[in-house]
Amino acid sequence: MKWYAYPLALVAWLLVAIFLFIVTWNWLGELPNPEWYLYLPIGAVILVGVSVGLSYLKFAWELEVLIQVVFVLAPLLWYLNLREPYRPPVYVFLIEAGYTGHARISFTNDEATKTQVRSTADSLFFRFNAEGQMVLNEEYGMVQDGMQNRWYYLYPDGSRKKIEVVDVTKFHSTDSTRFVAVQDSIASNKGKIEFIQWTLQRADKY
């Protein structure tokens, strides 16, 4: 078989085409090239070299297939091993320190509704308004998890104090300095959650 007919050679031409497309696109858009873009022509040269070698050595076809599979899969597996696994962001909820009363999160599927959020590398921070209201276009499960485990009073100096979400049927306290939240209502329509509401009070009120 001629070297240019090997599948590895065809993959090499594909890598060259992708390289040229990236370079041209970024040149037209005056954008920097990604750090890895030079790996494409280097990989193409290696694959062409292997194809030429196979055409001269003339191994059994089973061995040729094995060699080509190794040269295609090895870089892919190496790249996948370098990538860190995807970790969804952590949802953190904030409300003005000392707020008591109802806190409600309403859900919408309106793509035009942009969630007002501040973010760090791995966390998204959502803040209730002065009336304890918030409208989100977010996944219900992530919101519920965040409210249950990462809901804080936000103080003017930027410090935070965790709000404990409790089950009112199993909770009793006489501590008037402690604030807790109880989920008191949830509404849905045709299987879609419309809103969740909590009540924030001093612990001794329950």
Tell whether the model's pLDDT for residue 82 goes beyond 80.
no
User: What are the residue ranges spanned by the domains of the chain?
Assistant: 3-82, 90-205
Q: Tokens 């008037």 label which residue? A: 176
Pairs from 157-165 (Cβ < 8 Å, separation ≥ 24): 160/94, 161/97, 163/95, 163/200, 165/198
Model's pTM, two decimal places?
0.57
Of 123 and 177, the structure prediction assigns the larger pLDDT to 123
Mean pLDDT estimate for the chain:
85
Q: How far apart are CA 10 and CA 150, in angstroms?
A: 52
Q: Mind listing the pLDDT tens digit for each residue in 162-206?
A: 998 888 777 777 676 788 888 888 998 888 899 999 999 887 766
